[in-house]
Amino acid sequence: MKKGDFLWSAYRITEKQKAGKARNIKEKQLKNSRSTVSKQLVELLSSQRDNFSEKRISRVYYTSELRFWGVFLCEL
């Protein structure tokens, strides 16, 4: 055995270790992509909720002193 052979074998990464490392990287990427999708969904839902709130706020009716919220029914 040569002197350099031992050092090479000590630092050698086995195929099993490479596969494990690749698997960990893929799991991390998947976790990050799920997190990103989740954040985008939260942003979408919150913007829809904000838009809905703006529409509801625009339906506040003002009179001289009172504010009415909602739909008015009138008899004809």
Alpha-carbon distance values, 2 to 9, 13, 14 (Å): 11, 20, 21
Residue 66 in this model has a pLDDT that exceeds 60:
no
**Rounded mean pLDDT, 43-72:** 57
Where in the chain does DSSP place strands (E)?
60-62, 67-69
Asked if the model's pLDDT at residue 22 lies above 70, the reply is yes
Per-residue pLDDT for 72 more than 70? Answer: no
User: Given pLDDT bands bounded at 50, 70 and 90, which one contains residue 49?
Assistant: low
* Tokens linked to 23: 């698997």
| Tokens coding 71 | 């739909």
73 vs 34, residue with greater confidence: 34
Is residue 20 scored above 80 in pLDDT? Answer: yes
Decide if 69 contacts 60 (C-beta within 8 A).
Answer: yes
pLDDT of residue 27 exceeding 80 = yes
